[in-house]
Amino acid sequence: MSEIHEKINRQAFKVRFLRSFEKDIVSLIIGQRQIGKTTFIQKFLLEEVGQEKREYLYMNLDSITIREKIISAGGLKQIIEDYFDTKITDFKEKFSDRKIVVIDEAQKLPEIFEEIKLLFDEYKNLNLIKFILSGSSALDLYAKSAESQAGRIDIIKAYSFNFFEIKELLDIQFTQTNFIDLFDPDLSFEELVEKISTKRLPGANTDIQKIIENSLQYGTLPEMTKLFKKMDFKNEAIDYIESYKNTYIEKDIRALDRIGELGNFSRLFDLISAQAGNILVKSNLSRDLGISQEALNNYLSVLESTFIIDLVQPYFPNIKKQIVKSPKIYIFDNSLISYVNGFPLLEHMKVNGTIGAFFENLIYQELKKRLLFEHPYLNICFYRTVNDAEIDFILDFRKKVIPIEIKWTNDINNIKLRTLKQFIKEESKADYGFVIYNGKLEINETDRIIYFPAAYFATSPLNA
């Protein structure tokens, strides 16, 4: 098991997974490659299942040998019965607990989904087997899940490290107070102000700020964050991301029947990675690539389904405004943005004005990692009118929305918030808003705005 993951307790994800594990349902973990899905499962089997001395079968279908073994055995059922040396129909009589079957990279053998469906349906009332699946391509997993596992599957999205987990990895001391709970949609503005007044506010921490700066430039993939311990790791970072991109295209994408010319796809990968935080303009992309709109839509679908991009949709408020209808593009990890921009230095990004887009992409990912496990129905949107009045993010909790502006500055006097203030006044679902920036926690009670330090994302995910 990786030294990185031995040290990290992915508490929020673990809580979400345990809820699924206890249910009589198939648990499916999905997410980008190399974010720690396999290691999390192995650690769970070792520490949780192993300590209880429960038996489990683990198969990684990345191995062609394992895939061929399942096929030659005539299917999964025979493999399970051979491994536990018992017919499944006799499990109840022989075993006191349900057997655990883990299938990693499940999309590599698509026909296995239909058999899991049949096994689940046949034995679900007896609670004999718990299936745990994982994979790095939603393209096949979602399709097969929808076709074969409707009503039988719980999909759990995994992410790369958040700021808190990186802090733990690097042994950095910081406040144990939880500030993530300030994004609780059930709080009124007055309750939020009261909650803040009960918290002990930490001072500036240069080590936490360094995490933010490194994550801004190099992303938060587990293997990358390990390099943060070094003084100079730019060349290693470039080699890692170059290998990551090549593996993604040569291994994951080449295996898909629906991709034609890999060269065009690779060029789109680079073009779109450079447009993080921008409105998606399909006509420009298809023109620059020299491909049809249909081909572009196909490629975008693949990028989205393999978790490289998110297409964030606009929020349509109750107030009558003409809203931009095209989505905005966000990239799953800042390392890819840096890669296509030549890994620019922080000072260069400040000078050329790109640091805002890098920071916005980073905070978008952090919001997902820290809020979606607790609020699965949260929809992260953006707001932009045809007159270019814009708010970076709208946290849409259905009954309530929280508008958020992202600013790479530590001085609130440098922040112009006309659109945010107007939105809070006019939108009936908005009680207050946030500005996420690099300064200290401040409250503007007149305009009902909380200035929230990005460093506070490195605080504990648990109440303390």
Cα gap 114→417, rounded to integer Å: 53
- The answer to whether residue 261 scores a pLDDT higher than 80 is no
Q: Which helix (H) or strand (E) holds 44?
A: helix 37-44
- pLDDT at residue 333 in the model: 95
Q: Is the pLDDT of residue 416 over 80?
A: yes
> Residue 131 and residue 99: Cα distance in Å, rounded?
9
Residue 140 confidence (pLDDT) above 60? no
Q: How far apart are CA 57 and CA 418, in angstroms?
A: 58
pLDDT at 258: 65
From-to residues of CATH 3.40.50.300 in the chain: 3-158
Q: What is the mean pLDDT of residues 133-152?
A: 60
Would the pLDDT of 464 be above 50? Answer: no
Which residue in the block uniquely carries the two structure tokens 């107030």? 319
- Report yes or no: 165 and 10 within 8 Å, Cβ to Cβ: yes
DSSP 248: I
pLDDT band at 463 (very low <50, low <70, confident <90, very high): very low
Domain 3-158: CATH class, spelled out: alpha beta
Tens of pLDDT along 177-201?
A: 899 999 999 999 999 999 999 999 9
Amino acid at position 3, single letter = E
Handedness of CA 202, 205, 209, 214 (dihedral sign): negative
Q: Across-strand partners of 404?
A: 393, 434
- Sorting pLDDT into bands at 50, 70 and 90, what band is 7? low
What is the structure's pLDDT at 369?
93
Helical residues (DSSP H) of 56-104, grouped into ranges: 64-72, 76-84, 91-94
DSSP 287-332: HHHT--HHHHHHHHHHHHHTTSEEEEPBP--SS---B--SPEEEES
Supply angle C-alpha 382, 388, 394, rounded to 5. 15
* Mean per-residue pLDDT of the chain: 88
Sort strands 401-406 and 390-396 into parallel, antiparallel or unpaired: antiparallel
Token pair for 275: 């447009």
What confidence score (pLDDT) does residue 146 get?
47
**Angstrom distance (rounded) from CA 195 to CA 182:** 8
**Residues 309-353: pLDDT tens digits?**
999 999 998 767 778 899 999 999 999 999 999 888 889 999 998
Tell the residue number behind the tokens 């990345």, with chain if given. 62
- What pTM was computed for the model? 0.91
Q: What is the distance of C-alpha 58 from the center of its chain?
A: 25
Higher pLDDT, 317 or 101: 101
Calculate the CA 155 to chain-centre distance: 13
Q: What is the per-residue pLDDT for 323?
A: 85
Local confidence band at 360 (pLDDT 50, 70, 90 cut-offs): very high
CA distances from 182 to 169, 205, 330, 359, 394 (A): 25, 20, 24, 21, 15
Q: Strands 442-444 and 390-396: what pairing?
A: unpaired
What's the mean pLDDT in 3-16? 68
Nearest to 346 by CA among 440, 161, 191, 216: 216
Please determine, for residue 20, whether its predicted confidence score (pLDDT) is greater than 50: yes
314 backbone φψ class: left, alpha, beta (φ>0; ψ -120 to 50): beta
Region 404-428 average pLDDT: 94
Predicted pLDDT of residue 254: 73
Q: Report, as an integer, the average pLDDT of 409-414.
A: 90
152 versus 90: which is more confidently predicted? 90
Q: Find the radius of gyration of the CA atoms of the chain.
A: 23
For the cut 50, the answer to whether the pLDDT of residue 444 exceeds it is yes
pLDDT of residue 205: 92
Q: Backbone phi, then psi, for 18, in 5-degree steps?
A: -60, -35
Beta bridge partners of 195: none
Highest mean pLDDT out of 98-102, 199-203, 364-368? 364-368
Check pLDDT > 60 for residue 356: yes
Q: What is the mean pLDDT of residues 20-27?
A: 90
What share of the chain in percent tops pLDDT 90?
A: 59
pLDDT of 286 > 80? The answer is yes
Position of tokens 């920071």? 359
In angstroms, the CA 328 to CA 402 distance is: 18
Q: How confident is the model over 232-252, as pLDDT tens digits?
A: 899 999 999 999 988 888 777
Query: How high is the pLDDT of residue 49?
Result: 79
| pLDDT for residue 3 | 52
The answer on pLDDT for 284 being more than 50 is: yes
pLDDT > 70? residue 54: yes
Q: Which of 87, 352, 359 is nearest to 209 (CA)?
A: 359
Confidence of residue 10 (pLDDT cuts 50, 70, 90): confident
